[in-house]
């Protein structure tokens, strides 16, 4: 093995190393009964991240213009509160935030149905804490989605 292969396996992570040794994990979402591609499949990380940035930008603008009296330095916590309210209201009613809707994503329950209000609140609060959203399982779901028994899928 040359150095490029060793560096590539280190950067690729344990999943890629296990797959190189012959392990078959299947596609993301297979354990949940979701298709590999197309509508209903697990939403890709890049789209989810972009949707989060869009939603955060909207919340910062709302907090800046309506709550903090146009003071950028005081916008952080009010924007987080606006984000929590936005997430609970939009995911709880239509299944997606404005950013998710723009990028063709939706939040559904593991069974494919809508999330109840309690699960939406748990998911949104954990998402606002940020750390649970940074811990993923092999299906690409964050800890906030796992605990709320939710999945982000393509529309």
Q: What is the pLDDT of residue 24?
A: 74
Segment 52-79 shows an average pLDDT of 96
Per-residue pLDDT at 15: 65
pLDDT-based confidence at residue 5 (cuts at 50, 70, 90): low
25: phi > 0 → left, psi -120 to 50 → alpha, else beta; which?
alpha
pLDDT digits (tens, 9 = 90+) for 142-153: 999 999 999 999
Kindly give, in sequence order, each residue whose CB lies less than 8 Å from that of residue 45, ignoring residues fewer than 6 positions away: 140
- Token reading at 98: 């404005």
In this prediction the pTM is 0.83
15's enclosing H/E stretch is: helix 14-20
Q: How high is the pLDDT of residue 4? A: 52
Closest CA to 52 of 120, 93, 122, 102: 102
């Amino acid at each position: 093995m040359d150095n490029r292969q060793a560096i590539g396996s280190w950067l690729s992570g344990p999943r890629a190393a296990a797959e190189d040794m012959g392990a078959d994990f299947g596609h993301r979402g297979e354990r949940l009964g979701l298709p590999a591609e197309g509508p209903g499949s697990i939403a890709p990380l890049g789209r989810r991240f972009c949707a989060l940035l869009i939603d955060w930008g909207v919340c910062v603008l709302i907090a800046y213009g309506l709550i903090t009296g146009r003071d950028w330095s005081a916008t952080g916590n009010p924007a987080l509160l606006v984000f929590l309210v936005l997430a609970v209201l939009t995911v709880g009613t239509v299944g997606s935030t404005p950013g998710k809707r723009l990028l063709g994503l939706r939040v559904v329950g593991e069974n494919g149905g809508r999330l109840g209000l309690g699960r939406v609140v748990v998911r949104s609060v954990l998402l606002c804490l940020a750390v649970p959203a940074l811990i993923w399982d092999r299906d690409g779901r964050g800890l906030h989605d796992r605990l709320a028994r939710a999945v982000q899928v393509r529309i």
